[in-house]
Amino acid sequence: MAQRTFVIGVGMTKFEKPGARNWDYPEMGKEAGQAALDDAGISYDLVQRAFGSYVHGDSCYGNRALYELGMTGIPIVNVNNNCASGVSGLYMAREAVKFGQADCVMAVGFEKMNSGEIQMAFANRPSPLRKQIKAMWTRRGRQSTPIAAQMFANAAKEHSETYGTPAETWAKVSVKNYSHAVNNPRSQFRTARSLDEILAAPMISDPLTRMMCCPTSDGGAAAIVASERFVEQHGLWDKAVEIAGMHMVTDTPDTFDGTDKAIVGWHMNRKIAEAVYEESGLGPENVQVVELHDCFAPAEVLLYEALGLCPEGKGGDLLLSGGTTYGGQWVVNPSGGLLSKGHPLGATGLAQCAELTWQLRGEADKRQVTGATAALQHNLGLGGAGVAAVYKKVG
């Protein structure tokens, strides 16, 4: 029988420009993991298993990082699901608690990255995105710009071609998220940017300028998931935020249906949204705050539609109406999102969880969304896996 699951502790480092801080995975994991333990008010010896998420690194870096918190002999599983690695670890932690395998599980994620375009670690084997790249080239031809940027630039072009979405719409996503990040002390970028500044930034893949693309980042984040029994035994109801629903989907044949939006995960995103709303019993109309995977500015608009915040083709209108910032129906990416907060791959999904936990506890300081009682998370990794979660306030 499935059990209720709760986030009882979260922590994260400040996300940094690669090389800005002299640290490695053990320091990132220890800082984020200890912050989550301190937040919950428990010691590491109460954690019964753990998941360590990262993309760039050799085997067992999760062990190396978690050993900084203690060597207690618990099962540790290392997780790599591309940009969804952090939330995949969180998903596995929640599954372990949900189905009674453990009462207290930690997920920690971290990444130490290089500046610039993300490169494959091994040049002597095909890319995991080979099928997606082939589909993109078949539809739009080969380009010399970074692969992921091409994919989302093509999706932006398709949206404009199909629905008449103005190209400036993508820049306005960045304006919003840069403005949100001003109030996030853990964000990589904390300076508001004007529409003109974003449009004038160097072009990466038309129509996307550099400021419409998330940066590479160094950093870590962690979350602790516990059962109702554990929460009750340790008196943690004041910390607990319920994971009311959580679902993972990977690619299906419709990823290759001949559209640009499918290549960047449209169908996965729609499926996980439907599944998580069904499990939680809550829909988009019931949530007030959203953290979603804005790796490139068009991704956010596409996700408004895939996650059911608005009908297909209306994502740009929703953004321009102010419906996704303070004073609107939802506040989307109050943290600044990937565009401003940063995107250390293994930590991103866990940082989203941390932000939403703080929001539902009323602990988000200047970023606080007034009256938040339920929240939606979305994290995507091309190649591919998508995870969505609905959180709700306890009591």
Reading phi first (left if > 0) and then psi (alpha if -120 to 50, else beta), residue 308 is in: left
- Asked if 295 is an active-site residue, the reply is no
What backbone torsions phi and psi does residue 308 show, to the nearest 5 degrees?
85, 15
364, 250, 391, 386: which is closest to 307 by C-alpha?
Answer: 386
The token duo for 204 is 């990466």
Catalytic residue among 60, 83, 214, 310: 83
Instruction: Outline where DSSP puts E strands in the chain.
Output: 5-12, 49-53, 76-79, 104-111, 203-205, 208-209, 219-227, 241-250, 289-291, 331-332, 374-381, 385-393
CB-based contact 48:32 (threshold 8 Å) = no
CB-based contact 217:239 (threshold 8 Å) = no
Distance CA 347, CA 153 (A): 25
Distance CA 54, CA 57 (A): 7
| DSSP 8-class letter at 386 | E
Q: Which residues carry out catalysis?
A: 83
